[in-house]
Amino acid sequence: MNSLIPLFIVVPLGSAFIMAILGRFIKDFGKYLINLGLLFLVGLTVKLILNSQETLIYKVGGFANAGDIPIAIYMVVDGFTKILLLIISVVGFLVALYSISYTKQYTAERKFYILYSLMLAGMYGVVVSGDIFNIYVFLEIASIASYALVAFGIQKQQLEASFKYQILGGVASMLILMGIGFIYWSTGTLNLADIATQLTADTIIMKFIAVLMIVGFGLKAAIFPFHAWLPDAHSSAPSPISAMLSGVLIKAIGIYVIFRIFFNMFALSYEISMVITVLGTLSMIIGGLLAIGQWDMKRLLAYSSISQMGYVFLGVGIGMLVLAQKGNPAVAAFSILGGLFHLLNHAMFKGLLFLGAGAVEYRTETRDMKQLGGLSEVMPVTAGTSMAASLAISGIPPFNGFFSKLIIIIAAVQAGYVTLALLAVVVSIITIGYFMKMQKYTFFNNDGSFWKNKKIKEVPFTMAFAMILMAALCLGMSLLAIPTIRDIVLTPAVDALMETVQYSKTVIGI
């Protein structure tokens, strides 16, 4: 099992450069290669999840530890990593399937798939790496590929959004790199597990590192005061890429690293947990309020991403607070479970919503909701799947979003943060509001005769098929709330975070 871990990086990276060479001679080579590769990786992820519960470790280069000091570059796959692997593989595969028809409008299709594979390789690298500098390197691979993909349409808006994204992303990278420098200075190691054993003193330098890391990765994850780039970048990118950016990228390179660092590397502290919870609450509220006034469909979805990421931060942050105050571990575990469940769900329904917005834009060539309306008559599949995703994100019972929001709210009440629970309920109502607005102005509101006259049809088969699969997953993932199924996927992830600095014992055995 262990020797399969590097495949997560080798497959997308290798296919990127194979399609750079062969794609020039064989038409449509890249799109089928990346689909096959991702199908294989979906299988591999499912196999990893079902087969083993313990932490898998792989040492690149095969160097043994010198005494207590780990020398090799570690790749670590534990429960929390597996969730992210699942998100990247499944959403990545469905988006690649959707792109088969969607990218026919671009002249440089081959380059789209090369950049897409590189972005996937970067994200896989971030989540499997157990070494903070490697996390930085893979994060930059994913970021640079996404900068280029945002500007892929080379229109005015795309270029401007990409420039803004790159400047803020560049500042974030420099802050992260500086934080890594301070970590290396004070501990003399780069391995996450080894750092955890060295970083015990609660000194001023530790606080400075924590601030650098929160600002740096917060910029990458677009939580509240650092969210300025997200609505521009996510709404200007080609729609499959918007789905990847909103559904996967901000989670893999932002949220994953924040949780990994502050649970498993730093010792839990009350201040940091408070900062994470407060930032989460603020981005939940402000993202929701800003989303109401939007008339651009993808911009509304982008603001909604900020708001939903706030839920994830809220759930996990409450868990951190309870743990840091030595409260009841069961409540903390339940709260973290809610946060991670929402992370998983958000990838599905936000991906689906962006794909739906892309389908609308693909046929009507506009995403201004004032000009749309009545599309449910001419595009039933898009309308139906988009409706399912809207219901899921607003938290209507049979769908997955309901269960994760419910768990977060119950956990907040159990932990004694009734105000936060109330705020979560209020924002949930706001969410229903703006998604009803989006549904009404896009798919209903008139009889659709305007579009019928313009001969607007349903989208091509692969796009529709990918959207239907995603809608089915939105419904099916509510099964994860059932305890027996939850124990396979979600509980190992919660355990991986709950073991806090015991992580280093599991990984390097000290």
Partner 1 sequence: MILFILCFILFMVGLYGVMTRKNLIKIIIGVAVMEYSVNLFFILVGYVDGATVPILTKGFEKGPFVDPLPQAMILTAIVIGLATTALLLSIAIRLYRKYGTFDIRKINSLKG
Partner 2 sequence: MKGMGIIVVKVSQIIAPVIFLFGLYVIVHGHLSPGGGFAGGVIMASAFILQILANGAILPKLRHEEHGLEFLESAAILGFLILAGLGLIISGSFVFFANFINRGVVGQLISAGFIPIENIIVGMEVCAAIATIFIALVVFKDEVSE
Binding site for partner 2 (CB under 8 A): 2-3, 6, 10, 13-14, 17-18, 20-21, 24, 58-62
Task: Report d(CA 194, CA 196) in Å as an integer.
Answer: 5
| Binding site partner of 59, from partner 2, partner 1, none, Cβ cut-off 5-8 A by kind | partner 2
Closest by CA to 309, choosing from 253, 388, 232, 382, is 253
Task: Report d(CA 349, CA 305) in Å as an integer.
Answer: 10
Cα angle vertex 8, ends 343, 81, to 5°? 35
192 three-state secondary structure: helix
Cβ closest to partner 2, residue 10 vs residue 201: 10
- Closest approach of Cβ 189 to partner 1, in Å? 9
Non-local CB neighbours of 369 within 8 Å, separated by 6+ positions: 295, 296, 297, 300, 437, 438, 441, 442
| Binding site partner of 14, from partner 1, partner 2, none, Cβ cut-off 5-8 A by kind | partner 2
| Binding site partner of 18, from partner 2, partner 1, none, Cβ cut-off 5-8 A by kind | partner 2
**Judged by CB under 8 A, which of 7, 36, 144, 481 binds partner 1?**
144
Cβ closest to partner 2, residue 61 vs residue 483: 61
Q: Are 375 and 441 in contact (CB under 8 A)?
A: no
15, two tokens: 């296919």
- Closest approach of Cβ 141 to partner 1, in Å? 8
Q: If binding is defined by CB under 8 A, does position 7 make contact with partner 1?
A: no
Binders in 121-140 for partner 1, by CB under 8 A: 133, 137, 140
If one counts every other C-beta atom within 10 angstroms of the C-beta of residue 156, the result is 9
If one counts every other C-beta atom within 10 angstroms of the C-beta of residue 203, the result is 11
- Closest approach of Cβ 60 to partner 1, in Å? 15
| Binding site partner of 13, from partner 2, partner 1, none, Cβ cut-off 5-8 A by kind | partner 2
- Closest approach of Cβ 17 to partner 2, in Å? 4
| Binding site partner of 185, from partner 2, partner 1, none, Cβ cut-off 5-8 A by kind | partner 1
SS (H, E, C) 321-367: HHHHCCCCHHHHHHHHHHHHHHHHHHHHHHHHHHHHHHHHHHHHCCC
SS (H, E, C) 116-182: HHHHHHHHHHHHHECEHHHHHHHHHHHHHHHHHHHCCCCCHHHHHHHHHHHHHHHHHHHHHHHHHHH
**Judged by CB under 8 A, which of 105, 157, 200, 325 binds partner 1?**
157
Q: If binding is defined by CB under 8 A, does position 15 make contact with partner 1?
A: no
Binders in 353-412 for partner 1, by CB under 8 A: none
| Binding site partner of 32, from partner 1, partner 2, none, Cβ cut-off 5-8 A by kind | none
Task: Report d(CA 125, CA 48) in Å as an integer.
Answer: 16
- Closest approach of Cβ 58 to partner 2, in Å? 8
| Binding site partner of 133, from partner 1, partner 2, none, Cβ cut-off 5-8 A by kind | partner 1
Task: Report d(CA 127, CA 142) in Å as an integer.
Answer: 12
Binding-residue pattern over the window 183 to 212 for partner 1, x denoting contact by CB under 8 A: -xx----x----------------------
Q: If binding is defined by CB under 8 A, does position 431 make contact with partner 1?
A: no
| Binding site partner of 224, from partner 2, partner 1, none, Cβ cut-off 5-8 A by kind | none
Angle of the 79-102 helix axis to the 29-51 helix axis, nearest 10: 160
Cβ closest to partner 1, residue 177 vs residue 387: 177
Binders in 233-272 for partner 1, by CB under 8 A: 236
- Closest approach of Cβ 175 to partner 1, in Å? 9
Cβ closest to partner 2, residue 24 vs residue 440: 24
- DSSP codes, 361-405: HHHHS--BTTT---HHHH-HHHHHHHHHHHHHHHT-TTSHHHHHH
Cβ closest to partner 2, residue 25 vs residue 370: 25
Q: If binding is defined by CB under 8 A, does position 230 make contact with partner 1?
A: no
At residue 128, what is the residue type?
Answer: V
User: Interacting stretch for partner 1, rule CB under 8 A, among 7-15, 58-66, 160-168, 491-499?
Assistant: 160-168
294, two tokens: 């939007």
Q: Are 277 and 420 in contact (CB under 8 A)?
A: yes
Do you know the residue count of the chain? 510
Closest by CA to 502, choosing from 84, 274, 192, 62, is 192
Cβ closest to partner 2, residue 34 vs residue 316: 34
| Binding site partner of 274, from partner 2, partner 1, none, Cβ cut-off 5-8 A by kind | none
| Binding site partner of 366, from partner 1, partner 2, none, Cβ cut-off 5-8 A by kind | none
| Binding site partner of 147, from partner 2, partner 1, none, Cβ cut-off 5-8 A by kind | partner 1
Task: Report d(CA 210, CA 277) in Å as an integer.
Answer: 15
- Closest approach of Cβ 148 to partner 1, in Å? 6
Cβ closest to partner 2, residue 34 vs residue 300: 34
**Judged by CB under 8 A, which of 117, 294, 345, 385 binds partner 1?**
294
* Buried b or exposed e, range 177-189, using 16+ CB within 10 angstroms: eebbeebeebbeb
| Binding site partner of 327, from partner 2, partner 1, none, Cβ cut-off 5-8 A by kind | none
Task: Report d(CA 99, CA 185) in Å as an integer.
Answer: 45
Give residues in contact with partner 1 (CB under 8 A).
Answer: 133, 137, 140, 144, 147-148, 151, 154-157, 159-164, 166-167, 170-171, 173-174, 177-178, 180-181, 184-185, 190, 231-232, 236, 294, 299
